[in-house]
Chain A
């Protein structure tokens, strides 16, 4: 069995073309997605929280809302403490870029600036340039609102008098692990590469072996045939791990992606997911009669799954019942688990629902594979 494992590994390494393309395919996507600056697009999300409305509050909201690059949400009302706590959490989780907490009583609008309780700006550390711009703009607006000067028209270019709002704003950076779109896509590409390689490589190999009577030749030896399958699966798992490592390395080293989770846990998910897709590969080989057909059917399964399971886009963006279809695909739990661990830095056991679903998929596809597998 060990001999079979090494022999299979050797054969896969020597089949350079197939191995190269199996690796190259997801790497093309890594490069394409790595070159786009998705996070540079769109606006920064700001939430303004105040307990009660006042002229100053209105002026600040109006002033910030007028800034084109900011997407402003206002929460004014008695739920103030809860809103502050929520907002803080959202900043920490990366769902919100800025939280501006306006004090319950901004103070007399015509009084000394220093008597006013300062407002607090909670922001995610990371994009320093953007943070400086936003802090300056908020400070400026606060100063203008306090001084009774017309607000709203100032926008970001009114930083000419930066010192004026000093006592009015207390800014507070929150250390958050910035998860960029590319970080998430990178995990999608890891899963995609493993899925396509597992399904297509196994189905084409088995189909080829069957057509060449190699499987038959193994059957006339006393080798228990399960050992052959263990050797085959073991070699493919090894390749899957190497593949995942290469894709992640290119993403991190070349395109500056960040992986926050534990690498060993990522590899555990990779192995579990690989088992599902290897089983699907065995099923495809049982349903087709030659390597070309196996490759075609393998692609027909892998490519739609790649899109529907949310490799590149959130499944919530899918129309109609398709988000539910996406939930039913085996790639989805693998992607969710990979992103929870790699992007959100969660421990492996927090992803147990996904791991359980993947485990179920391993058993179900294994049962079907055993049923439809053919030696002749």
Chain B
């Protein structure tokens, strides 16, 4: 029983929605919207119509002149008309027409005197897109809406009249008609009402779509905006990760490292002074001391890898010698960066060299490596070369993918040349400023 009702409701609900649609508030609000929107459309259309009425004849040059004048007016009055539309749409239908972004160009022309401002408007593609809406797309949608709306209302009136005629019989004094004909006509009116009410709602949808596309930001502007947003959010993510590394480095430096140094020192002192302990106690003490020192070394390498203080303090050149010296493969290092670049880029370059040398040590079987870092105009370039077995492939091995991602995080470029048999050279280009 329950299932039967559910099945019935799935069949009946859409039919009910269809039948009720023209009688719902939304349909009537859309009709109201069409009327107001058409009134707004008359404003720019009047720009064409009025001069035309003034010339009052069908004559090609005057038609062309009027069209040109209307276009000029629509372009020059574009922002005002657009503002009017936007607030009307928001007020009547709650629809938000997105705003075009304010560019530097807009800001510059806003303060300009009247004539240059108008000149800037004429040159701006946005003004022409808006004029296209005000003069063509908007009025066209409204025209459809107005025709459909008129038919809807007249259909309703006729339906009522015919219903009355059926009720009062074929000899009613206001409409004398055969009942069967009246029945068919009433049915026809009902069909018209249904069709036109849907058309009115559709015309409003078209109108809003045109308005969004033509009055709002263009595709290029939307994409430009998106690029700006993504660039900013990516920079924020990179900075946040950097700040987090610094925080962890600082915490470990102030906490665990100092404690461990102190522990190792005390163990060392005990080992040096307590000479008369039993043999096994001395051995245990010695082992504890050695392990504390090893832990200290491991922690130091980890912590320095997180964020070298010398990098922000003295720059890339100073920070890289630490990495080069710790590399198990002998490294020759040449840094020629006479000025400081953006801290984020410095960090990216530092960690890229660090990872590249780690890769060399792990995979290349090289006997020597060479690191070069130099400035080339607005670019920071670095190359890491080794004389190992080559055959490194970005498709395999996360090390190279990591390098690529690091470069990409600041819009940098990463290239690797690594034929089988070697040698391997990594070349990286990073912008100095973000």
The answer to whether A binds B is: no
Interface residues of A (CB under 8 A from B): none
